[in-house]
Chains A and B, each alone.
Chain A
Amino acid sequence: MKSYLYQLLFMAIFLTGESVAYAQESSLDLLSEDDYIGEVPKVLTVSRLAQAPADVPSAVTVINRETIRASGIVDLPEIFRLVPGMYVGTNAGYVYNTNHTLSYHGMTTAYAGTMQVMINGRSVYSPLFGGVNWSELPIAIVDIERIEVTRGPNAASYGANSYFGVINIITQTPSETPNNSIVATHGNGRNEVFYRHAGKADDFSYRVTTGYRQDDGLDNRNDFKRTRFISTQAEYLLDSNDNLEFEFGITDGARGEGNINEDNIIFLPRTKKIDNHFGLIRWRHNISDTSDLTLQAYHSYDHSDDVNTTVDLRPLIAPLDAGLAASLVNGNVVINNEVVQKRTDIEAQHTFTLASNARAVWGASMRRDSTYAPFYLASKNTDYFDLLRLFGHVELRPHEKLTVNAGAMLEHNDFTGTDISPRASVNFKPNANHSFRFGVSSALRTPNYVEEKFQNRLVIPTTLANPSALIYQYRANKGGVEPEQIVSTELGYIGEIGRLHLDMRLFSDRINHVVRDVRRTNFTVPVNTYLLNPDIDRDVFSSENQGSAKVEGIEYQANWPLTRNTRLLFNHAYVHIRETQDGLKRNYIKSMPRNTISTLITHRFNPQWDGSFAYYQTSATTLLGDGDPVDLIRKCDVRLARKFDYGRRNGEVAIVVENLFNDHYQEFADYNTLKRRARINVKLDF
């Protein structure tokens, strides 16, 4: 009893002497009881609390700020090379848009749309083709706090596009951001600068980031990108239990499109304009210590302004029919390939604990996507796609060594009607360091516009009454495509072996009703028009469900702090795709590299200097949709950084060399040749 009284007395006396000097100070300077027992706003409410990795129903890779920094990337999708089982293809595509493509476990096309991609819970994949226009996102890498990648289907929580995986990019909250930062990068084919400012006034905090990015693209390609953007994130604390969050962003820019080696007749090299914006509002309401309500609404607008003029078609048509060629109204046909996509989404989510060993989340959302794409849809009307969702998930702990997760999502959409995606898993934790997981998850991939509604064709008017126009038809979808289905079974392990953190996953995924392109035979054109396809030996395509596949393999991620200052991150995936029912797309089974390896070694030499070395290896693969067979790729990146700290001002200068040994390798397709690139990056916080 005595000792703590002594302690206090000691403090009292010590401070009595000490505080004489303060005695004259204003009495307002006193600490108040509110500093001890005043109400504190709820922060880690049940909905903000993630499941512990040992309890999670699927494999999750978390990429934090530090890893992003150490990787030295400038293009956000590049970071996913550090996720086991992920394929990243640079500068894929050339007709509608040239961007990184990303896929998990294969079926990679230029516009791969098999993953749900979200920024702070806002879905950013394109309604048109299901993929993400990565370079058009109004986000600076410096604003990213962490990225969570769910490997494996999780439609039960995130809906139909969560087919092979889910990516959730989480930005720093305004209150975590330094007051001012400038980030600038200069290097081979790359210049960019970002400025951000964060501030607060009472219960309102905000961050504004603005930037300009100039990417010259690859040699021998018309794929430059110039992008400006501004994005804002703000939070307003209404009271201890209520929080309002706002996000807003605008992007615009120019893009080089067209690939003369792939298409030297119709979609020629040209410059197109892009612009987009979005706004989001979210209300988090803490009902009680064990219950939360989140309401969120957002709207996004995405515009691609692309007008393309073909070469003079007369000389090409003349060999077929000279008279017809002479009758063309105009040899050079102008294609208006403008695309406007909008999305409005409202979601409500309620998270609560049922008992000390059970918690649940359920919610509902409504979404409307609208698409105006006169060329692709062969209609000047805007097309609407409505989506309704109802979802629920429970986590139960019947025993301290056992966690059971179960959930389902019920969806109704305009393309495929009502679908359900369930999942269930059991985690067994023999002790605090090891967790084994067995799970089965089913997900559906709703066909995108390319598969369901594309009717894109080139119409070449003539001066004749019949044919009044020549038609070259690319796709003529019959519609009514069923969703593709994946049933994924996995056995997972997460654990600590000494200091080594290991995450392993054995998987067997069955894919049914594969959506593939088939030749459409019964296609007819309007009266008094003439279909050119048979004459030039080109098929008209439509999507249909055909064939089944099995994707099996193993992947693991090892995170190993070798010493206090050295850390090793190692990823490896072995993926094998087999055809289990005839009818798959050509090259489908080769659409994922059999082995992908990535490793990142970081070392801190002293508090100022640190460096990292990354190695990426992708075995030979054949990519689908605008892709080609590409060989084994081996790539090394190095980064060396020096930190500066002058009290209020601190910063960093870093040098990054990508593809250190200058291997001229092809990625995604043989039209993409990558060479060594170096750049310098300067960051200043003040």
Chain B
Amino acid sequence: MLVALISGFFAPTLSFAYTGVTIILSAPTPTNLEFVEHFRDELISSKNTALRVKVIDLQETERLVVAENSELVIALGVNALQAASKLKHTTPVVGVFTPLPAFNRLLAASRRDLGNFSAIVLDQPYMRQMMLIKTVMPNIRNLGVLLGKNSSQYGELIKDAGEKNAINVTEESIVQEADLIPKLNKILDSNDALIAIPDPLVYSRETAQPILLTTYRHLKPVFGYSRSYVQAGALAAVYSTTKQLAKQAAEIAVQSQASPGLLPPPQTPRYFSIAVNYQVARSLNIVVEDKDKLQKKIADAELAQYEK
């Protein structure tokens, strides 16, 4: 109800059905190219072959030229979304591979409306992440979270989601890099696990080692936010594959084709997978069931909750 109201409120008065989709790549990375492929496949399998798909590589384009109004723009990556945000305000833009804070900043900076500026953000819902934690560690009581400048705004939402799963979340904020290890040690002293929330100050290529080694030394697991973090040494994570994000994007493209000015609001990934590092689980003496079964359990629980 509220969704419809707000979308309606922001919706521009004029809109025409579009006939094509332009995918803007921040760079021709394997992930982005894979997305394009899956997106095309999804359109084919949904029998929506009428939509033309055009691909523009931002790195090779001086000025974005898009048949404005008659196309839906899907921007892959923050740079692409930033470029797309400068297109005519009536051009519908959906960002993919975009962190929520980046989306919000671009939305504000471009002064665009939610009706024609939307995204499938990279952030997985906190409820979903908490459900994973609770399923993997049913006896967990206390969960620690380190928040930096970017992620500090989500502290309350994370705590809320924890509470709904009977998990008490303790927060420590990192202001400068030197705080990281002392605060991490502090938080690990009193918590059963750590949930990682993306923030370049806290979780970067450089901090992966000290964070994962230190938590491992406390014999406590880290719940990560990406498949790569799990491969690096986190116990488990909720993440969405490129294929899953492409499927969701194709669904948006198809659904909003008739009314381009009425894009669905920014949303979290609908389809998701679970990554588990079974070597880490074994070393921490945590028995983790099959990741596909875990995924199904969480998806079912989510469905049950939304239907309530």
Please list the residues of chain A having a beta carbon within 8 angstroms of any beta carbon in chain B. Answer: 1-9, 11-16, 18-20, 22-23, 27, 30-33, 35-46, 48-55, 64, 145-146, 173, 175-176, 178-179, 200, 203, 205, 235, 237, 289-290, 353, 356, 359, 400, 432, 648, 650
Contact = CB atoms under 8 A, between A and B. Distances in A.
A120 to B, nearest CB: 13
Given A41-B205, A173-B210, A33 B108 contact: no
Interface in B1-49: 2-3, 6, 26, 31
Given A12-B266, A19-B108, A44-B277, 8 more contacts: A1-B307, A2-B306, A5-B3, A27-B82, A40-B228, A43-B213, A44-B213, A50-B283
Interface stretch (B57-65, B119-127, B249-257): B119-127
12 contacts: A5-B265, A7-B125, A11-B154, A18-B153, A22-B108, A31-B102, A43-B233, A44-B213, A44-B232, A51-B283, A289-B279, A648-B176
B217 A145 contact: yes
Contact of B82 (A2, A30, A52, A200): A30
Contact of A37 (B101, B102, B108, B122): B122
B198 A432 contact: no
B50 interface: no
Contact of A175 (B2, B150, B206, B267): B206
B31 A49 contact: no
B208 A33 contact: no
B108 A23 contact: yes
A12 to B, nearest CB: 6
A650 B102 CA distance: 35
Interface string B101-142: 111111111000010000001110101000000000000000
Interface in B268-296: 268, 277-280, 282-285, 287
B43 to A, nearest CB: 23
Contacts of B103: 12
Nearest to B218: A64
A168 B107 CA distance: 55
Given A40-B228, A53-B285, A146-B217, A173 B99 contact: no
Contacts of A6: 2-3
Nearest to A686: B178
Given A40-B205, A43-B208, A176-B214, A11 B157 contact: yes
B217 A3 contact: no
Nearest to A32: B78
Contacts of A2: 3, 306
A12 B153 contact: no
B88 to A, nearest CB: 19
B53 interface: no
A18 to B, nearest CB: 7
Contacts of B226: 36-38, 40
A8 B161 CA distance: 13
B178 A52 contact: no
Given A7-B157, A9-B6, A40 B280 contact: no
B225 A36 contact: yes
B279 to A, nearest CB: 5
A4 B127 contact: yes
B97 interface: yes
A39 B30 CA distance: 13
A146 B203 CA distance: 24
Nearest to A359: B279
A233 to B, nearest CB: 13
A8 B99 contact: no
B267 A5 contact: yes
Contacts of B191: none
Contacts of B285: 52-55, 432
A33 B78 contact: yes
B181 A178 contact: yes
Contacts of B280: 44, 49
Contacts of A64: 217
B174 interface: no
A85 B168 CA distance: 41
B77 interface: yes
B229 interface: yes
A32 B99 contact: yes
Given A23-B108, A38-B228, A648-B178, A46 B279 contact: yes
Sorted nearest first, the 8 A-B pairs with minimum C-beta distance are A44-B233, A52-B285, A15-B104, A43-B212, A40-B232, A49-B283, A1-B306, A33-B97
Contacts of B199: 31, 35
A198 to B, nearest CB: 10
B97 A37 contact: yes
Q: Which of A49, A146, A173, A178 has the most CB of B within 10 A?
A: A49
A359 B283 CA distance: 12
Interface string B143-180: 00000001001100100000000000000000010100
Given A33-B77, A35-B200, A42 B233 contact: yes
B91 interface: no
Q: Which of A40, A290, A432 has the most CB of B within 10 A?
A: A40
Q: Which of A44, A289, A432, A650 has the most CB of B within 10 A?
A: A44
Contact of A15 (B98, B101, B283): B101
Contacts of A45: 233
Contact of B266 (A8, A19, A35, A648): A8
A338 B31 CA distance: 64
Contacts of B214: 176
A39 B228 contact: yes
A199 to B, nearest CB: 11
Contacts of B176: 648
Nearest to B103: A12
Contact of B104 (A1, A12, A290, A359): A12
Contacts of A7: 125, 157
B41 to A, nearest CB: 21
A31 B266 contact: no
A342 B6 CA distance: 77
Contacts of B267: 5, 8
Contacts of A289: 231, 277, 279
Contacts of A49: 216, 279-280, 282-283
Contacts of A23: 105, 108-109
A648 B180 CA distance: 11
B268 A8 contact: yes
Q: Which of B114, B153, B285 has the most CB of A within 10 A?
A: B285
A175 B122 contact: no
A20 B285 CA distance: 48
B127 A32 contact: no
Given A3-B306, A44-B280, A51-B283, A36 B209 contact: no
A33 B122 contact: yes
A40 B212 CA distance: 11
A173 to B, nearest CB: 6
Given A30-B82, A41-B209, A175-B210, A36 B99 contact: yes
